[in-house]
Structure 1
Amino acid sequence: MASYQKQLLKSVLTFSSVILITAGVKAQQITIPVETETTALVLQATAGKDLNTVYLGQKLNNKADYDKVAAAYEQPNDYSVLFNSAYTPSGSRNLLEPAISVTHADGNNSLELKYVSHNLTKVDDNVSLLTIKLKDPAYNFMVTLFYKSYYKENVIEQWSEISHLEKGNVTLHKFASANINLRAGSYWLRQYHGDWAKEMRPEETQLTHGIKTLDSKLGTRADLFMPSVFMVSLDKPSTEDEGQVLFGGLEWSGNFRTDFEVDPKDHLRIISGINNYASAYQLKPGTVFKTPAFVYTLSGNGKGEASRNLQNWARNYKLLDGKGQRLTLLNNWESTYFDFNEQKLGELLKDTKKLGVDLFLLDDGWFGNQYPRNDDHAGLGDWQENRKKLPNGIAAIAKEASANGVKFGIWVEPEMINPKSELYQKHPDWVVKDPKRDEYYFRNQLVLDLSNPKVQDFVYNIIDSLFIKDPALAYIKWDCNAVIYNAYSAHLKNEQSQFYVDYVKGLYLVLQRLRAKYPEIPMMLCSGGGGRVDYGALQYFTEYWPSDNTDPLERIFIQWEYSYFYPAIASANHVTDWGRQPIKYRVDVAMMGKLGFDIVVDKLSTNDLKFCQDAITTYNSLKSMIWQGDQYRLLNPRENSVASVMYVNADKTSGVMFNYLVNNRYDEGSKAPILLKGLDAEKNYSIREINIYPGSKSPFVSERIFSGDFLMKIGFNPYVNSGRSSVIIKIDAVK
């Protein structure tokens, strides 16, 4: 017997012994609190060993009071005594939506999960890990629940591990990561929808009895129509600074499913995990199925506090190099599209140096020979340099970049394949396609089967070979443009229902290998825009691409909504020729994150070029505060003619305020002072306008001094109007 199976058998015997011992003594309830600085999640094992969630809310002052919560909330007619189960099983007493559903090796579909034991481990001064072991008393079937709490950030991650020692395979039909229970008078769901160039469009509705489901069945590019992140406000829709609200999202880059069920007792049950659509999973004896983490934070002071919780957590614990630096780049895509050669790239490299950014990014179109990548119909899969465009290879471009004093980065789409490619001809069995169906394309391409270890090796070697050709390669843009049609894996043969899960597992294995060898190389997470933005992927990437829609007016709305869940340092914002706004407006919007450029530099006017050069210098002096500071939303673009956002450093000595006109109707603008946030009421601050276009004059002819108290109670008017459509204000403490 394998060592792991021996360990698992020992655990099963221990579980059984605990249950038998418990049966021989007077059973008592066991209360298990999980606390952060302001939040408490309280679990309780009943006398009958059912594990329930009895409380999720603001932390109580006296820990002993958690023992009294269940009795205070007790209501009759919970027929199953499972309405607030911490991980609801199906097929036995449960009457509501389950978190887990299985078919045992003997064909039985019922499941009970009884509390066995729990253990709380202090990972460090800020992080704790609670594990709770559950077992079916009739089967050698176990679930371990994990609750990882981040004290200062007020964030909790939940996931589960499922295992068994039955005589044969167990089929997992549903396998959620988290099962959360909330109590309030009403519940308001803020969800998001979208499509290409229309990411993160919010909708807010009151949840009613029954089940509301957010999900994706796209396989790859899973967030294209609906991302997994959401907000739930309790009792009334929360505002930026008021109301109780929970933010949540699944750390998974494939199909997801989140159920919101208002139960017969008017409580809200949130069950989130991998989408079990077409994904029944065969679990062999002695193996473990680990679900992805579900992350959430609960705020008692509105959406702004919740977002700062998640942003701090992401920078400190989840986003790759979240406390580090980022490169400002110039991309060739909108300058050349597929039409370029060494000479054109050489000129662009000179523009990169002239502009003053750190890196030149070579985008799509550099590869393929038999099927050259001159448009999006051919070449994907054939990752050799195109000899006509780059006769001396990417090493020559990288060398030229170095000679111009800038770094070099490159675009790849390693998960995808065009039917017009040598790879397709050589390895048709590596392609996700149904042998009984006609091929159907998304952007003229198909998806490679990452459930296949050989394909995983191939994708890994695509990236690895780039570093072999150019050891100084400084940046990877990883794209993913297609969804999965006709889901079928030649590799999985008779286990097709595992494909959607195993694909993402295969993707993560590739990324883990790459990060083991290249731990510090910046990588952009791109998926035809924001089709794949989640913390499951972002632990391997330094940044994400919010949208291919780079119209700065549209980007204000897109970036605003993303910022609730992801920090500014992770948002790759490029200045392009999209939109009708002047260059200042475009640059100012892009500065609210990780700045980049995708413009034809030699077509800029003298003043436009001078402004961009100066703006990069200004940005370099501000970026640490934008990336690591606390973000405060001042005026919502969906509710006002002006959008306003500010960032404040940790010690409240400096801030920057971005203001934009978002309504071009007659005489619109900032007609009253805007209330600032996040400052120290006892400090005095100087106010001055920065990032001014050459030849323009600011109405603020000199620095003005105000107290923090004044700025947060009376405010400051940046005088945004049609002639001053974008205004940046710098705020600094003075003695």
Structure 2
Amino acid sequence: MIRFPVLLLAAFTCIRLQAQRIAPIVIETQNASLVLTVSGNQRVQQAYLGKKINQPIIDKLGGGREAYLTAGMENQFEPAIRMVHNDGNPSLELRYVSHSSQTNGNVITTDVVMRDPVYPVDVTLHYTAYKAEDVFSCQAIIKHQEKKPVMLTQYASSMLHFNADEYWLTQFHGDWAREVNMVDEKLTHGIKSLDSKLGARTNFYQTQFFFLSLNKPSDENNGELIAGTLNWTGNFQFTFEVDQRNALRVRSGINPYASEYYLAPNEIFTTPEMVFTWSSNGKGQASRNLHRWARNYAVLDGKGERMVLLNNWEATHTSFDEKRLTELFDEGKKLGVDLFLLDDGWFGNTFPRNDDKTGLGDWQPDKTKLPSGIGYLVNEAEKRGIHFGIWLEPEMVNPKSDLYKAHPDWILKLPNREENYGRNQLVLDLTNPKVQDFIYNLVNDLLTQNPKLAYIKWDCNRSMTNAYAPYLKEKQSHLYIEYTRSLYKILERIRAKYPKLPIMLCAGGGGRTDYGAMKYFTEFWPSDNTDALERIFIQWGYSYFFPANTISAHVTSMGKNQSLKFRTDVAMMGRLGYDIRTNNFTKEDIEFTNNAIKTYKQISPVIQQGDQYRLVSPYEEDRAVVMYAEEKKEKAILFQYFTTPRRKNIFTNVKLQGLDGGKNYRIREINLYPGTKSNNPENDKTYSGEYLMSIGLNIAPRGLAMTSNVFEIIAQ
């Protein structure tokens, strides 16, 4: 057999391809199409992205823009990829080689292989289309066969192209306790960048999802847009570049900041998935697309039930003993919760964890507080008919700890600088396999010794500063990438042995909220701010990209002049939980909470698995109205929250969505406080679905600040 050199074979391939036109590469869902074409110079181009089109239209498509722009050639804009070869040449050209598709039920994957005609470099664009959910994902797979490592300085997951008169970006930014503030802005010429350089707890200031509206701003039900998010629990970057011809390029991927990657021969560099959905019916439809996709494919046990829990943090902070905890078990039993979660403060002996200054890394039960150990608490909780869960912060260490003294080489810190602390702690070097083993063994030992342990809260309370990984030695530019990869390795090991254990993802509040992590977690903690009034806005923002069963929402005592009912109704928007001093509850409070939990369990299938409709935005009115409807349109739940209505506010009817116009529905107010009755004029009335969606309900004639209503809507 005659064997041709790789470069010569590539040249023959290109000559053959130039002699024949490559048919368009169509990647489509139920309602949207992404079409790639191959140009005369064998570059792969994006020719179309939008409403689903038929084959005659596809056949007429021409032109387009390069789907994965390279650096060092004729491109004058931000590239998707930049590579420096062994000989110092910083150029890359990618020409079409082949493409293939595979269908597995609802999921269609397409691989488009490209190759440099001069250097032995291959890049494959891997697309996935989730047909019924109208969701796409894209990632790049990069490899080479040069004699020595090549340097990657850019390595995007995707590059999407748009042509419109105007572009409007919706971003979500914030800080601790004020996460996901929603802002709309018009993109102008130049580059707008959304990114993070924080390493761990990466979403601290900027959340890695966005809406991009075409031609005009979108609202809940109107406008053409895409919604996008990156599946990566580390530094990310989105760039939006409007050029001199008003064309827009959206580049998404790992943030290349301080992260030049030296790719070894035959090593495969796979970027995280960029997930996006297209909608011509506003943000609401895009949101529902992502919710369905998340429950079906992206969240651990996305179709499963979630437990109602009681957390001890507000009741005790780090000051407790076995007697106080078992008293809380009794309180939880009285309320009707499923689970008790023991938060921070249960560990450390040489350096007891009595505040946030000591003990992190020493995961042995404090013998003074818990002389009988964790097993005793698990058993005592189970005796009362509730499960037991525990808080961990496995990636972190306090300088005042046995771990710090025993393993200084396990810590991310510069060798010749002063240590820099966040919350009095440092980050462990997860790139070190010994640290990975330490964290895995921590979790495994807890679960092996306590097989009835039913839940873990996984926290991460600081980002990376003064970061240097002793294990990586001269490859410090790999730190941010390898840290995230290492975190995934640990979680994969845990999930291989404990595939169903519920684990909450927490990072000082909402510092980690991404689908790269959510395949290992059942839910996340959106914010340490549990003031119900502010939580309306926080949960509203997260709900655009995450379904209700992933958003942990607790009833607490935070917030002024807020009734227990108001706080409970707000928490019912997500996965209901409690973190409150229940020993101060009145008899009526206990009765209300017990009934509220029963009510929530009855309606939670609709909230957690139904389609969500945001009917009135708190950004636009002094109230928020949100609705969840069964796919079968037999049942819906409607929440109404009044924020700060003024004396002369006049609220209009609320038009419902997601119902069957031909069915009749009974409206009934539920979750009322003991001794009260509904005075809502729509209570216990029946209307047709057509009436409810075209005329609507007058559910807020006299709204008072920080009051709320919950309505059950059932087909008759």
Root-mean-square deviation over aligned CA pairs: 1.4
**Alignment partner of 1:493 is 2:473:** yes
**2:331 aligned to 344, 351, 361, which one?**
351
Which aligned runs of 4 or more in structure 1 are off by greater than 4 angstroms?
12-16
| Amino acid of the structure 1 residue aligned with 2:163 | R
Mapped pair 1:473 → 2:453: yes
SS at match of 2:417: coil
Which of 639, 643, 654 aligns to 1:662? It is: 643
Q: Does 1:154 align with 2:142?
A: no
Q: 1:722 aligned to 692, 704, 716, which one?
A: 704
CA distance in 2, matches of 1:266, 1:731: 47
For residue 698 of structure 1, what is the aligned residue in structure 2? Answer: 678
Indicate which of 233, 248, 251 corresponds to 1:253.
233
Counterpart in the other structure of 2:577: 596
Check conservation: 2:241, 2:248, Cα contact below 8 A: yes
| Corresponding position: 1:46 with 2:36 | no
Whether the 8 Å contact between 1:27 and 1:48 is mirrored in structure 2 is no
* Distance in 1 separating the partners of 2:589 and 2:405: 49
Among 360, 365, 376, the alignment partner of 2:356 is 376
SS of residue in 2 equivalent to 1:477: strand
Q: Is the 8 A contact 1:667 1:721 kept in 2?
A: no
Q: Residue type of the partner of 2:398? A: N
Q: CA deviation at 1:65?
A: 1.6
Distance 2:8 2:216 in 1: 46
Whether 2:58 is the aligned partner of 1:66: answer yes
1:27 CA displacement: 4.2
- Displacement, 1:105? 1.4
Q: Does 1:731 align with 2:713?
A: yes
Counterpart residue number, 1:269: 249
> How far is 1:28 from its partner?
2.2
3-state secondary structure, aligned to 1:474: strand
Distance 1:139 1:133, change over 3 A: same
Report the TM-score, using the length of structure 1 for normalisation: 0.95
Q: Aligned AA for 1:42?
A: V
Contact 1:27 1:47 in 2 (8 A): no
Instruction: Please tell me whether residue 608 in structure 1 is matched to residue 619 in structure 2.
Output: no
Return closer, same or farther for 1:593/1:477 CA change in 2, 3 Å cut-off: same
Structure 1 match to 2:266 = 286
> Using the alignment, how far apart are the partners of 1:218 and 1:372 within structure 2?
29
Cα pair 1:630 1:649 within 8 Å, conserved:
yes
Which of these residues, 64, 67, 78, is aligned with residue 86 of structure 1? 67
Q: Is the 8 A contact 2:10 2:117 kept in 1?
A: no
Aligned counterparts, 1:598-677, within 5 A: 598-666=579-647, 668=649, 671-677=651-657
Q: Quick one: distance in 2 between partners of 1:20 and 1:30?
A: 19
The CA deviation at 1:672 is 2.6
Aligned length: 710
Tell me how far apart the structure 2 counterparts of residues 353 and 623 of structure 1 sit (CA, whole Å).
20
How has the CA–CA distance of structure 1 residues 16 and 42 changed in structure 2, closer, same or farther, with 3 Å as cutoff?
Answer: farther
Alpha-carbon distance between aligned partners in 1 of 2:705 and 2:251, rounded to the nearest angstrom: 50
Q: Distance in 1 between matches of 2:132 and 2:209?
A: 22
Q: Paired residue for 1:98?
A: 79
Residue in 2 aligned with 1:80? none
**What is the CA–CA distance in structure 1 between the aligned matches of 2:640 and 2:545, rounded to whole Å?**
21
Q: What is the match of residue 30 of structure 1? A: 23
Contact 1:29 1:47 in 2 (8 A): no
- Using the TM superposition, give the Cα deviation of residue 511 of structure 1 relative to its aligned residue in structure 2, in angstroms: 0.3
Structural mapping, 1:428-577, within 5 Å: 428-577=408-557
Which residue does 1:710 correspond to in 2?
Answer: 691
How far, CA to CA, are the matches of 1:660 and 1:206 in structure 2? Answer: 30
1:320 corresponds in structure 2 to 300
1:583 lines up with 2:575 in the alignment: no
Task: Supply the distance in 2 between the matched residues of 1:163 and 1:273 (Cα, whole angstroms).
Answer: 17
CA contact (8 A) 1:630 1:648 kept: yes
Q: Report the alpha carbon displacement of residue 390 of structure 1 after superposing the two structures with TM.
A: 0.3
Contact 1:373 1:380 in 2 (8 A): yes
Quick check: 1:19–1:116 contact (8 Å CA) kept in 2?
no
The alpha-carbon distance between structure 1 residues 265 and 30, as it changes in their structure 2 partners (threshold 3 A), is farther
Question: For residue 23 of structure 2, what is the amino acid of its counterpart?
Answer: I
CA contact (8 A) 1:129 1:149 kept: yes
**TM-fit CA distance, 1:699:** 1.8
Deviations 1:337-384 (A, max 9, x none): 010000100100101111101000000000000011000001000000
The equivalent position to 1:117 in structure 2, one of 78, 95, 98, is 98
- Give the match for residue 81 of structure 1: none
Contact 2:645 2:705 (C-alpha < 8 Å) held by counterparts: no
Q: In 1, distance between residues paired with 2:14 and 2:421? A: 59
* Unaligned runs of at least 5 residues, structure 2: none
Q: Which aligned pairs between 1:387-398 and structure 2 lie closer than 5 A?
A: 387-398=367-378
**What are the superposed Cα offsets for residues 568-619 of structure 1, whole Å, 9 maximum, x if unpaired?**
0100000000012100000001011110000111111111111111001110
SS in 1 for 2:349: coil
Partner of 2:176: 196
Q: Does the 8 A contact of 1:127 with 1:149 survive in 2? A: yes
CA distance in 2, matches of 1:14, 1:604: 75
Q: How high is the sequence identity, in percent, across the aligned residues?
A: 50
Q: Is the 8 A contact 2:644 2:706 kept in 1?
A: no
What whole-Å deviation, never above 9, does each CA across 1:651-682 have from its counterpart, x for those lacking one?
101101000101143354x6332111111111
Q: Of 656, 669, 685, which aligns to 1:689?
A: 669
What is the distance in 1 between the residues matched to 2:74 and 2:232?
30
* Residue in structure 2 matched with residue 79 of structure 1 by the alignment: none
Secondary structure of the 2:292 match is helix
User: Partners of 2:196 and 2:13 in 1: how far apart?
Assistant: 45
Task: Identify the match of residue 243 of structure 1 among 218, 223, 227.
Answer: 223
Which amino acid is the alignment partner of residue 183 of structure 2?
E
Where structure 1 has 5 or more consecutive residues not aligned to the other structure, the ranges are: 1-9, 74-83
Check conservation: 1:133, 1:144, Cα contact below 8 A. Answer: yes
Equivalent position SS for 1:70: coil
| Contact 1:15–1:116, Cα closer than 8 Å, also in 2 | no
Deviation at 1:723?
A: 7.9
The amino acid across from 1:728 in the alignment is V
Q: Give, in whole Å, the separation in 1 of the partners of 2:322 and 2:145.
A: 61
Instruction: State the secondary structure of the residue aligned to 1:108.
Output: coil
2:209 corresponding residue in structure 1: 229
The one-letter amino acid of 1:673's match is N
- Structure 2 counterpart of 1:364, from 338, 341, 344: 344
Is the Cα contact below 8 Å between 2:7 and 2:120 reproduced in 1?
Answer: no
Letter in 2 for 1:63: Q
Secondary structure at 1:693 match in 2? coil
Q: Name the CA distance, whole Å, in 2 between partners of 1:564 and 1:464.
A: 35
Tell me the distance in 2 between the aligned counterparts of 1:105 and 1:370: 52
SS of the aligned residue for 1:42 comes to strand
Deviates more, 1:521-530 or 1:84-93: 84-93
Q: Per-residue CA shift, 1:157-178, capped at 9, x if unaligned?
A: 1001110000111011111101
- Over residues 297-323 of structure 1, what are the superposed CA-to-partner deviations in whole Å (9 max), with x where a residue is unaligned? 010000000000000000000100000
Instruction: Report the CA distance shift for 1:32/1:487 in structure 2 as closer, same or farther (over 3 A).
Output: same
Give me the whole-angstrom Cα distance separating, in 2, the residues matched to 1:724 and 1:592: 15
The answer as to whether partners of 2:230 and 2:274 remain within 8 angstroms in 1 is yes
Q: Distance in 2 between matches of 1:638 and 1:721?
A: 17
* Matched position secondary structure for 2:141: strand
